[in-house]
Amino acid sequence: MSAANDLFETLRAFRTSPEAGKTPQQLLVDYCQNVLGGVERLHFDFKTKSQPVSQSLDDADKKNLAKAISGFANETGGVLIWGLNDTTIVPNPISNVSKFVNSILQLSHQVTAPAVSGIDGDFVTSDDNPKDGFGLIFVPESDLPPHRVLLNIPEVKDHYFKRTGSSFSRATHSQLEDMFGRRPRPALAVEFELDARTSKDEICVVVLLENKGRGIARYPFLSLEVEAPFGLSEWGIDGNGKFGLPVIEKGSGLNVEHRTLYGSMKFGSQEGFAIHSGMRHPITKIVKFAPNNGARDANDLSVRWSIAAEGTPLRDDERVLSESELTMLPKSMK
């Protein structure tokens, strides 16, 4: 997940998961004043609505929205926080905030060319009226920059914007050249499938790399770590030692019923290998054998991983799959 997406999830949780003794508004304002107030606003911006008592958007609101969508999408994404003063971060709640957010989401795909996909929205309620509150608009980094503003409003029409420090500025000619020349980026993700040939005496999960981006993932890298009683198979995908990517490093071996599994492994691509957009590529298998004594222990699978590819930063993530979630995984015959 990106820094902007992480921030969006943090802010929206104030409404659904409030802390004891504090209202959603208090949590939001405290966080914005005490945490965000002292950092550079590269991935977020505060905006007050020109007419807070109306949920409809006037030209000033549309202009702010268009600059933010173009500027955030042309850079690394961001969150627009509506209902807080840009200078003092003092709350100024918006009436009927859910309709206000819906109005923004309906308009968001019409303000730039090309349209920015993946825009999301939510809100945090006000202390005075649960129908009022603060809008949260998430704009992801785009794979198809640059994005030009389409709205017929002076100061923004036909301009390209960038997020520079704590403000939005028009992109220069050289910056536009860089954006037009930017290649679509890959977006690798780790996915899991249940091996259809799994017997009652074992659990066998296939680990795959999926490219969800629009660019080609060249030289992919994957580091996996699992917790006992699961382990990474020494026999690879086909049972004969073949892996989806060459093994760079094996961690400590786990002796399980006289068969060797590994707690961690690292994989890296050979020259010329690539995972194309939309492609799912199996890498290895995670295995858990049933003990010979017939005892039944916990089947929750905990996996941590790091992934990267040419031109993309190393990204860490983790997932815990419960026993019931394992049985619901899609089946794989590979």
Question: Average pLDDT of 66-95?
Answer: 95
Same domain, 46 and 175: yes
Per-residue pLDDT at 82: 97
Is the pLDDT at 136 greater than 80? The verdict is yes
Could you tell me the pLDDT band of residue 61, with boundaries at 50, 70 and 90?
very high
In the listed set 124, 150, 180, which residue is the last one of a domain according to the structure? 180
Same domain, 108 and 70: yes
Per-residue pLDDT at 294: 44
Per-residue pLDDT at 306: 94
Whole-number percent of the chain with pLDDT over 90: 57
The CATH code of the domain that includes 291 is: 2.60.40.10
More confident residue, 6 or 38: 6
Question: Average pLDDT of 74-98?
Answer: 94
Report which of 237, 235, 246 is spatially closest to residue 268, judged by C-alpha positions. Answer: 246
Q: Quick check: helix, strand or coil at residue 37? A: helix
The CATH code of the domain that includes 92 is: 3.30.950.30
Identify the weakest region by mean pLDDT among 62-71, 153-162, 264-273: 264-273
Per-residue pLDDT at 105: 95
Token pair 């794989």: residue: 332
Per-residue pLDDT at 223: 96
Report which of 190, 233, 192, 191 is spatially closest to residue 327, judged by C-alpha positions. Answer: 192
Is the pLDDT at 33 greater than 70? The verdict is yes
Could you tell me the pLDDT band of residue 95, with boundaries at 50, 70 and 90?
very high
Q: How far apart are CA 224 and CA 317, in angstroms?
A: 10
CB half-sphere exposure, 200, CA atoms < 13 A: 1
Q: Are 161 and 71 in contact (CB under 8 A)?
A: yes
Report which of 253, 248, 273, 274 is spatially closest to residue 263, judged by C-alpha positions. Answer: 253
Per-residue pLDDT at 200: 60
| Tally of CB atoms within 10 A around 156 | 23
Per-residue pLDDT at 295: 45
pLDDT in tens, 111-132: 999 999 899 999 999 999 999 9
Same domain, 83 and 173: yes
Same domain, 255 and 284: yes
Identify the weakest region by mean pLDDT among 68-72, 101-105, 178-182: 178-182
Whole-number percent of the chain with pLDDT over 70: 92
Tally of domains within the chain: 2
Tokens of 282: 């199996």
- What value does the mean pLDDT of the chain take? 88
Is the pLDDT at 208 greater than 60? The verdict is yes
Same domain, 83 and 205: no
pLDDT in tens, 242-300: 999 999 998 877 665 546 788 999 999 877 789 998 899 999 999 886 554 444 456 78
Same domain, 171 and 254: no
Per-residue pLDDT at 140: 94
Per-residue pLDDT at 213: 81
Same domain, 206 and 298: yes
Is the pLDDT at 68 greater than 70? The verdict is yes
Same domain, 31 and 159: yes
Per-residue pLDDT at 257: 55
Same domain, 175 and 222: no
In the listed set 180, 211, 231, which residue is the last one of a domain according to the structure? 180
Q: Which amino acid is at 80?
A: L
What range does the domain containing 52 cover? 3-180
Per-residue pLDDT at 296: 46
Same domain, 217 and 323: yes
Same domain, 102 and 145: yes
Same domain, 153 and 8: yes
In the listed set 180, 201, 223, which residue is the last one of a domain according to the structure? 180
| Tally of residues, the chain | 334
Q: What is the pTM of this model?
A: 0.59
